[in-house]
Amino acid sequence: MSIKLVDTHCHLDMIDSDDLQESVKEVSILLTVGCDEDEIPKALSLGKKFENVYVAIGYHPYEADRIDESSIRSLENLLKSEKVVAVGEMGLDFYRNNASKENQYKYFFMQIKLAKKYNLPVIIHSREANRETEEIIKSESIDNGVMHCFGGDHNLLKTALDNGLYISFAGNVTYPKADNLREMLRYVPLDRLLLETDSPYLSPQKVRGQKNKPSNIRYTYEFVSQFLNIDLERLEDTVYSNTLNLFKIKKPEVVNR
Ligand SMILES: [Zn+2]
Ligand SMILES: [Zn+2]
């Protein structure tokens, strides 16, 4: 097992404890995302518990009708906590309409401001909202962050890249029908590429149908290295250093084990 595998987006609070133990051993850096009132404290405590677990906190667009401005103030107070390296996931999701568009916009804007204030990268979730997300990236000049679980079109990809954002692909890039997504992958410069599991969701094709865990990230690395025809080790090195760069993580000692 490589010592440089990273999973830049997972929800560790939803992973079974055996899978969690295995994952923190096999993956050298894990970024767990706490994106609602319940998950945020769990993510913070996982960051305290495991040396190689880093934390992003923020409000998912699904939460937009359930939170208020005081939620954003408490989020702000937690941003200085140990291991917090990003704000999010935040953004727009018009696929599931779990929250009004108006509130999705409102809290997306508020969280972008917060991230800028503390000079933290944003983790953007965008689904069925390509044009709207593009507009916000431009109007708010978002230049520090990542488009997580990328599923957008070429225009959104271009806008994100032009603004300096990283692009992260999840296990769905390995699915047989995901040709469009793979075309986007081909277009991403290697120095802007990240990979994630989004565990417990989106298990890569080899383990599809099972609950996903961060250690499954290796299947995505293998797939992407073959698809892009680059050496697996080079891909691991690249994604690893991109992760350190974006999230300003110092080389963790755990990789020397
Ligand atoms: Zn998401
Ligand atoms: Zn997520």
Distance CA 167, CA 182 (A): 13
Domains in the chain, start-ordered, CATH in brackets? Answer: 6-256 (3.20.20.140)
Going from the Cα of 67 to the center of ligand 1, the distance in angstroms, rounded, reads 18
Question: Among candidates 85, 89, 83, which has minimal Cα distance to 58?
Answer: 89
Q: Does pLDDT of 40 surpass 50?
A: yes
The CA 257 to ligand 1 mean position distance, Å, reads 32
Answer yes or no: is pLDDT of 257 > 50. Answer: no
For range 34-43, the mean pLDDT: 97
Q: Name the pLDDT band for 96 (thresholds 50, 70, 90).
A: confident
**Res 49 pLDDT > 90:** yes
First to last CA, the chain: 12
DSSP conformation letters of 179-208: HHHHHHHHHS-GGGEEE---TTS---GGGT
Ligand 2 midpoint to CA 31 (Å): 10
Confidence check: pLDDT of 117 > 90 = yes
Ligand nearest to the CA of 12: 2
- Nearest ligand to the CA atom of 93: 1
Please state whether beta strands 166-169 and 145-147 pair in parallel, antiparallel, or not at all (unpaired).
parallel
CA of 257 to the centre of ligand 2 (A): 29
Tokens 């990789």 belong to 255
Q: How far is the CA of 150 from the centre of ligand 1 (A)?
A: 9
pLDDT at 253: 55
Q: What is the pLDDT of residue 252?
A: 59
Q: Which ligand is nearest to the CA of 36?
A: 2
Q: Tell me the average pLDDT across 118-140.
A: 98
Structure tokens at 183: 């075309």
Averaged pLDDT for residues 115-130: 97
E-state strands within 79-189 = 84-93, 122-127, 145-147, 166-169
* Pairing of β 166-169 and β 6-10: unpaired
When pLDDT is averaged across residues 41-69 and rounded to a whole number, the result is 97
The CA 149 to ligand 1 mean position distance, Å, reads 6
Q: Is the pLDDT of residue 2 over 70?
A: no
Q: Is the pLDDT of residue 169 over 60?
A: yes
Mean of the per-residue pLDDT values of the chain: 95
- Cα–Cα distance for residue pair 173/68, rounded to 1 Å: 35
Q: Report how far ligand 2's centroid is from the alpha carbon of 218 (Å).
A: 18
Residues 215-256: tens digit of each pLDDT:
999 999 999 999 999 999 999 999 999 999 999 998 755 544
Q: How remote is the CA of residue 237 from the centroid of ligand 2, in Å?
A: 24
Cα–ligand 2 centroid distance for 23 (angstroms): 17
